Amino acid sequence: MTTKTFNSRLPSVAVEGSLTKYLEQIKKFPMLTAEEEYMLAKSWQDRGDLKSAQKLITSHLRLVAKIAMGYKGYGLPVNEMVSEGNIGLMQAVKKFDPEKGFKLATYAMWWIKASIQEYILRSWSLVKMGTTSAQKKLFFNLKKIKNQLSPNNNGDLNIEHVEEISKRLNVKKEEVVSMNRRLLGKEKSLNSPIKEEGGEEWQDWIVDEKTDQEVQLSNQQEFAKRKKLMDASMEILNTREKEILTARRLSDEIATLEDLSKKYKISRERIRQIETRAFEKLQKAILSAAKSNNLLAKN
């Protein structure tokens, strides 16, 4: 399966097209039950059936759009972020193993976010690909933490907030101040034109993507059940296993083997072994608990 193969079959998100129209298009693709998702994933995994993989992708395009909407604040065209997120979704489908016991949406979310974030990093001149994981974490979390500490603050940070953000994200205070000022310089009025010659404004890209209350409630209930299951299963791991598994597989910004080897003063290969062992232990615990609670059958 190639990205080009699936791109030719996905609804168009071309610049000249309407994002609203695209969102309406993808709503027509049916959601899958757990049984349908499993059978399609097995068909793709065992026989390389492209139609099955295509159905897995189209049924999750709404997830990509929803995640992409969360990055509107970076001043980039939403349609481009959706396209990048779709590439991440395709990669997730390629690697998805239905026998692991997780839903595709849970697995794909990290691939989608990674693709969108890499696109944002490439697009912002102030952040180069060579920046550290800590700087990337600062880039993607500064606005959120800033709003928590001081809602509606669109200016410079006071010293107390700089110190708090520096502590939370483990970066230098100077980097917090510098990044905040650069982000302020990049922020645009919603009425500003996307291109210098005029035409569409940034507010044209903002679309209300709210789901029905019933769907929201269902999603919240499912998330709560799975989070409870995950939290309970994590208790089988020791402290170091929890920390390494979280840093490597459960964080928005994935820690490198090199960073963790320095932190725990062990080799990168040992970190990898601990990560693999912890994941296998967690996987078995989740599958066992899910079967006991009949969680997989219900979802």
Q: How far apart are CA 228 and CA 288, in angstroms?
A: 14
pLDDT in tens, 58-85: 999 999 999 998 888 776 788 888 989 9
Q: Across 30-39, 143-152, 198-207, 247-256, which has the greatest mean pLDDT? A: 30-39
Predicted local distance difference test score (pLDDT) of residue 291: 64
CATH 1.10.10.10 fits 213-298, yes or no: yes
Predicted local distance difference test score (pLDDT) of residue 55: 92
Predicted local distance difference test score (pLDDT) of residue 124: 64
Q: Where are the domains of the chain?
A: 3-123, 133-187, 213-298
Architecture of domain 3-123: Up-down Bundle (1.20)
Q: Which residue has the tokens 């079967």?
A: 291
Does 288 score more than 80 pLDDT? no
Mean local confidence (pLDDT), 203-229: 54
pLDDT in tens, 80-127: 889 899 999 999 999 898 888 888 999 999 999 888 888 887 776 544
- 80-102 in b/e form (b: 16+ CB < 10 A) is bbbbbbbbbbbbbbeebebeebb
pLDDT in tens, 18-51: 788 888 889 889 999 989 999 999 999 898 889 9
Q: Same topology for domains 3-123 and 213-298, yes or no?
A: no
- Distance of alpha carbon 125 from the chain centroid: 22
